[in-house]
Amino acid sequence: MFCINCFHTNTSVANSRPNKKQPQVWRRRTCSNCQITFTTYERPSLADNKPVSLPDGTDTFNLGKLILSIAKAFTHAPNDAQYNSLWLAQTVEDTLSTERQTITPDDIAAITHQVLKKFDELAAIQYAAQHQLISSTRKRGRPSLRERGPRSRESPSQ
């Protein structure tokens, strides 16, 4: 790890603790050159550790693709897409890192949908529609609002 002050490549770990809730490690580091002490938060990268099983082979996990996919779900709130997509994608990555050894695109989509559901219901619906997790067909026997027309609120006797 390089120093954040002088960019020297030799730093030593003074203290280290694993996070209880997330798969990350907190480390206090000291630079051997300028003697400054700084803190790092390290977490595993899915791209290096777990392959994504595709129908035509395997690929590595791409956090950038996930960030863009989440951002597309926030068409109703562009500021949320800009500021929260990275953090939501990292939450999905942390969740996936504790899952089984190989992951599939369906696993990624399902967990992303669950995370978005907790954060923003409308973004979760848009994400699910983009990834075919939900369908737009209505159940039989339930009329559509468009079929009822503007007089649907009046009583049947009028």
User: What is the DSSP secondary-structure string of 107-140?
Assistant: HHHHHHHHHHHHH-HHHHHHHHHHTTSS--PPPT
In a shared domain, residues 50 and 69: yes
Per-residue pLDDT, 136: 59
Element (H, E) at 51: strand 51-54
How far is Cα 111 from Cα 102, in angstroms, rounded to an integer? 14
Q: What is the pLDDT confidence band of residue 80, given thresholds at 50, 70 and 90?
A: confident
**Same domain (yes/no): 96, 123:** yes
Do 57 and 117 belong together in one domain?
A: yes
146 located within any domain = no
- Helices 63-72 and 78-97 pack at an angle, to 10 degrees, of 140
Q: Is residue 64's pLDDT more than 60?
A: yes
Let me know whether 67 and 54 are in one domain. yes
CB 101 within 8 A of CB 50: yes
The domain in which residue 24 lies consists of 11-42
pLDDT at 21 over 50: yes
Residue 109 and residue 51 share a domain:
yes
Chain segment 105-120, per-residue pLDDT in tens? 888 899 999 999 999 8
- Given a contact cutoff of 8 angstroms between Cβ atoms, the answer to whether 9 and 37 are in contact is no
**Assigned domain for 3 exists:** no
Contact 97, 148 (CB under 8 A): no
Amino acid, res. 155: S
Q: Are residues 25 and 75 in the same domain?
A: no
* Spatial distance between the Cα atoms of 124 and 7, rounded to a whole number of angstroms: 41
Residues 75 and 110 in one domain: yes
pLDDT of residue 147: 45
Q: Mean per-residue pLDDT for 87-97?
A: 86
**pLDDT band at 70; cut points 50, 70, 90:** very high
Q: Coil, strand or helix: which one is 53?
A: strand
The answer to whether residue 31 scores a pLDDT higher than 70 is yes
Domain shared by 52 and 79, yes or no: yes
Residues 51 and 79 in one domain: yes
Is the same domain home to 82 and 23?
no
| pLDDT per residue as tens digits for the range 51-61 | 787 778 778 88
Per-residue model confidence (pLDDT) at position 149: 43
Provide the pLDDT for residue 135.
66
Total tally of structural domains belonging to the chain: 2
125-150 tens-digit pLDDT? 889 888 888 765 666 665 555 544 44
In this structure, are 79 and 91 located in the same domain?
Answer: yes
* CA angle at 157 for the pair 152 and 158, rounded to the nearest 5°: 65
| pLDDT for the residue numbered 88 | 92
Same structural domain, 62 and 104: yes
